[in-house]
Amino acid sequence: MPTKRNRRNRVILFVLATVATALALYFYLSSFGYHLPTGESANWQRIPIVVLTALLGYLTVRALNAALFDFVLRLRRRYEAPTLVRNIFTLLAFTILFVVIFKYVYPSYDLGALFTTSAIFGVIIGLALQDTLGNFFAGLSLHADRPFQVGDVIVVGDHTGVVEGITWRAIKLRTFQNHIVLIANSAAGKEPIEVSPRDNLNARLVFFGTLYSDSPAKTIHVVKEAVRDADNVSERIKPIVRIRNFGDSSIDWEVKYWLEDYAKYNDTDALVRQRIWYAFRRSGITFAFPTRTLYLERTTKAEPVPAEDQIADRLSAVPIFSPLSADELKQLAAATMGHVFAPGETLIRAGDEGSSMFVVYSGRVAVQVADAAGPRTVAELTEGNFFGEMALFTGEPRTANVVALEETAVLEIGHAAMKHLFETNPGLAESISWTIAERQADLAKGSEAAAQTSLHETAGLLSSIKRFFGLR
Ligand code: CMP
């Protein structure tokens, strides 16, 4: 809306322009003794007269327009004419005025013939004005139909908003994000338009779901009460609550209510949802959430699952298990769990608790310890090698990181399976304690506090393994 100050400035500008044009015309005519120029170059000398009179005419038409639509009609009939009607009035009045002036200044020229005989001129004008005229006529039909008015909420294509005006070119919408969208009249003419008139009770639907265990009669009552006194929900028509569908995991509902001011439907929908939530909370009704019945199968081996015989084969190739009989190997194979790791994944983290050891079934891992300079690889282990035995047999935290260098499948052997093996194979604990001692020596090599490994320490290890596993 133009402010008062703006309007005053425009009036001053308008008066100044009119005075300047009138003066220019006056002085120009006075140089020819207030007559139309005659003589050889009369045609050229008459051009400023046409331009200045046309300009003066245009300003007069604008003044008439304002007088007619802003004062007379508004005061007498309280009627506010749409912009398009005003524009058409201005255009028509100005065209008539222009023709009259032209006829007066150039009586010997036939203006009609000038327009109708020039085919090229017609084509150029036609092409140039194609869109403009399309919008203009679509605007005319919108005004004739009056399908919506200023203040109505409309949906055109992807746009929803309140109509702020309809000009000869476009519909002006204010969206609910307070943006202005201009939709060309011709484009709007091709789209379906959904209109929610301003002075009409327009309805809204809000959807929700409840559990099958909640009573429908109670839900209907609770929701009706909750929605009834929400702001902007009309009291003239009672809200309707009904079941839309028996869904997979919920009874699907809709509540329909009518709005006093449809332009505020976003806020009202939100308030209605909020009221329903509180009402449900008070009355013990539960919103449904997606539920699924799952049938779980418990497997002991992760993919890929090698056959037990293959596992037993692989275990028999591990040096520390070579003393085991075929039966014992099979029992051990049955007690293992398979895991697959991606390249770069950490299988074991230094410092963690650990109660199982691993045999590499396929792939390759690196044993790494952290030095000041970064991770240092102390060993690479491949198929048939084992790791993780130190924490398992001593109860100490993991001594190193073990990282997969490529896709690696490992077999995990837990405390219980090893205890059983120790009981039946007393020599096993000894051979494992040797491996542990060697590895401890390797680990200490690079570190600052280099440790000495000796047979005594191996003996110490053996007795601690026996103690840890409760062996004699
Ligand atoms: P644990 O301490 O349980 O976890 C880290 C594992 O890395 C450790 O058991 C050993 O199995 C393994 N490991 C440590 N040092 C070496 C090494 N020098 N050579 C091979 N494997 C090792």
Residue nearest (by alpha carbon) to ligand 1 atom 9: 388
- Ligand 1: residues with CB < 6 A are 348, 354, 367, 378-379, 387-391, 398-400, 402, 439, 442-443
Lowest-confidence range among 13-27, 206-220, 433-447? Answer: 433-447
Of 356, 377, 390, 443, best ligand 1 pocket probe by most atoms within 8 Å of the beta carbon: 390
What ligand 1 atom has the least distance to the C-alpha of 381?
A: 20
User: Among 390, 391, 341, which residue's Cα sits nearest to residue 366?
Assistant: 341
Higher-confidence residue of 186 and 304: namely 186
Of 413, 439, 453, best ligand 1 pocket probe by most atoms within 8 Å of the beta carbon: 439
Cα-based distances in Å from 131 to 134, 135, 154, 161, 165: 5, 6, 23, 24, 20
pLDDT of residue 447: 56
pLDDT of residue 33: 83
Of 364, 392, 399, best ligand 1 pocket probe by most atoms within 8 Å of the beta carbon: 399
Tell me the average pLDDT of the chain: 84
pLDDT tens digits, residue range 215-253? Answer: 999 999 999 999 988 999 999 999 999 999 999 889 999
pLDDT of residue 424: 82
Strand stretches in 247-373, DSSP E = 251-259, 337-341, 346-348, 356-362, 364-371
Distance 461 CA to ligand 1 centre (A): 15
What ligand 1 atom has the least distance to the C-alpha of 438?
A: 18
Flag whether pLDDT at 27 surpasses 70. Answer: yes
Helices marked H in 317-388 — which ranges? 326-335
Q: Which residue has the tokens 């539920």?
A: 291
Flag whether pLDDT at 76 surpasses 70. Answer: no
pLDDT tens digits, residue range 247-296? Answer: 988 999 999 999 999 999 999 999 999 999 999 988 899 999 876 667 66
Residue nearest (by alpha carbon) to ligand 1 atom 17: 439
Distance 366 CA to ligand 1 centre (A): 10
Distance 327 CA to ligand 1 centre (A): 28
Flag whether pLDDT at 87 surpasses 80. Answer: no
State the DSSP H helix or E strand holding residue 80, giving kind and residue range, or none if neither: none
Residue nearest (by alpha carbon) to ligand 1 atom 15: 439
Q: Which residue has the tokens 């299988």?
A: 347
Q: Is the peptide bond before 304 cis (omega within 30 degrees of 0)?
A: yes
Distance 311 CA to ligand 1 centre (A): 22
Using CA atoms, how far apart are residues 358 and 385, in angstroms rounded to an integer? 8
What is the residue-wise DSSP string for 424-447? H-HHHHHHHHHHHHHHHHHHHHHS
| Other C-beta atoms lying within 10 Å of the C-beta of residue 414 | 14
pTM above 0.85, yes or no: no
pLDDT of residue 115: 63
Characterize the bridge pairing of strands 374-382 and 364-371: antiparallel
